[in-house]
Structure 1
Amino acid sequence: MDELASLSLTHVQFDPRDKIAYWLAYITLSPLAILVFYASVIVSRREVAGILMLAGQLCNEGLNAVLKEYLQIARPHAHLGTGYGMPSSHAQFVCIYLGYHSLPQVMAGSFAGLAFGVVWYALTELGLRKSGCIQWALDQPVAKRLYLRDMRAIDNVARWEYQQWEQQVRHRQGSENKQE
């Protein structure tokens, strides 16, 4: 086998002559980027949707860990890392071709990700939201102190926020004119 290069940030091994593998080695970082995105949305927007997405991602990772320990199916090539390969958690984001997982592992990971996504959506939208649990949680003092909110009922959040900003500017300008 030809010598493989290692992406130093994660030690993802790939054939450096294969341009697709080069880019896919970077795409394998997408789960980390998505976690950073979730954290940014939660901290900056205080939006329930971000919290639910992060919770779903973490639950999905937990499910993968349990399934891998239960199934105990090895990766197709031992030199590509420790741990079990089935189901592929990366395949729940993208179907990678770097050889870290066999086709059945990628398919199982894709199916597990799709199935978990459907179940999580049903749980959050049809269960928690429709039953009023999300609104109940937002009505709690700690949620109010953290300024948590659910903007889902607003059709165009960007327009609504812009209109709020315009009102504040007009109010501020009106107050300044009164003081003169």
Structure 2
Amino acid sequence: MAATEDESYMQSPKLNSEDRVDWVPLTLTLVEYPQGDWMGKMLAVASLLPLGIISGFVALILFRRDLHTISFFFGTTVNELLNLILKHTFCEARPMQRSGVYTEYGLPSSHSQFMWFFATYVLYFVFIRLHHMNNNTLLENVWKTAIITCTVSMAMIVTISRVYLQYHTWKQVLSGALVGFLFGSLWFALTYLIFTPMFPLIASWKVSEFLLLRDTTLIPNVLWFEYTNCRQEARARSRKLVSMKSQ
């Protein structure tokens, strides 16, 4: 019976071209690497870093509601829109190894542009916005160096991965890095000089109060501020609870 079913399946008519469905890969998450190539596998995982950064942005916005973080995330969105415009302006194909699989254009590389926008903005933020770190103690210098090294290293690894995995040429990734650096510099300047002075006004709006949006620009160390305030509030409530039980 099984053999008969197999034969009938093999002899079944093929689907017409009109009935056939073409499947298109979602290139946002699909990353291929040579089988057995451990370096290619590591670089394939590294090329997913932009998704991790976006997830971090969403988590920070949902739980912190800080206007500067929202502005930074909005900048990454505009950066991606700029990349899309540039790709459809230059219309340069991907390398031959990928031209038959991925239909979107390759110049400039969106991964490279995203990572260098992010790295550039973080560099400016560390050197300019972190004004509370001006004591230049050993711990503070190590902390700054670690952030800068980590961010630039991630951008370089993602850039190299796109060439190693044959998704882009060096011209395409370097073009993306240049655009990301330039737009990251422009967006930080806009945020620092124009948007930041407007944050107190925006935070006072009714809609901002409803959404719990806040401006932490003038707080030197937000983590320490939140830690000390939470600790003081917890101690005050603990004393109040003990007082109520003793009555």
TM-score relative to the length of structure 2: 0.65
Does residue 164 of structure 1 match 2:185? no
Moved more, 45-54 or 116-125: 45-54
Does residue 87 of structure 1 match 2:108? yes
| Corresponding letter in the other structure for 2:50 | P
The residue aligned with 1:105 is 172
Post-superposition offset of 1:159? 1.6
The 1:71/1:9 distance shift into structure 2, 3 A limit, reads closer
- Structure showing greater radius of gyration is 2
Does residue 145 of structure 1 match 2:164? no
Matched-pair contact (CA < 8 Å) for 1:13–1:80: no
Post-superposition offset of 1:105? 0.5
TM-score relative to the length of structure 1: 0.88
User: Secondary structure, in 3 states, of the residue corresponding to 2:32?
Assistant: strand
Higher relative contact order (CA 8 A, sep 6+): 2
What's the RMSD between the two structures over aligned residues?
1.9
The residue aligned with 1:3 is none
Structure 2, gaps ≥5 residues long = 1-24, 116-157
The residue aligned with 1:13 is 32
Moved more, 150-159 or 43-52: 150-159
Q: 2:88 aligns with which of 54, 69, 87?
A: 69
Residues 23-69 of structure 1: CA distance to partner in whole angstroms, max 9, x if unpaired? Answer: 11112222221111111000011111221121011100000000001
User: Secondary structure, in 3 states, of the residue corresponding to 2:51?
Assistant: helix
Does residue 118 of structure 1 match 2:185? yes
Poorly superposed stretches of 4+, deviation over 4 Å: none
Post-superposition offset of 1:9? 9.0
The residue aligned with 1:22 is 41
Post-superposition offset of 1:16? 2.1
Matched-pair contact (CA < 8 Å) for 1:80–1:100: no
**Matched residue count:** 172
Could you tell me how far apart the structure 2 residues matched to 1:68 and 1:171 are?
57
Could you tell me how far apart the structure 1 residues matched to 2:230 and 2:198 are?
30
Post-superposition offset of 1:79? 2.9
Post-superposition offset of 1:178? 3.4
Post-superposition offset of 1:166? 2.0
User: Secondary structure, in 3 states, of the residue corresponding to 2:100?
Assistant: helix
Structure 1, gaps ≥5 residues long = 1-5
The residue aligned with 1:128 is 195
Post-superposition offset of 1:75? 0.6
Matched-pair contact (CA < 8 Å) for 1:75–1:102: yes
Matched-pair contact (CA < 8 Å) for 1:86–1:109: yes
Post-superposition offset of 1:80? 4.4
Structure with the bigger percentage of helix: 2
Could you tell me how far apart the structure 2 residues matched to 1:122 and 1:139 are?
23
The 1:163/1:175 distance shift into structure 2, 3 A limit, reads same
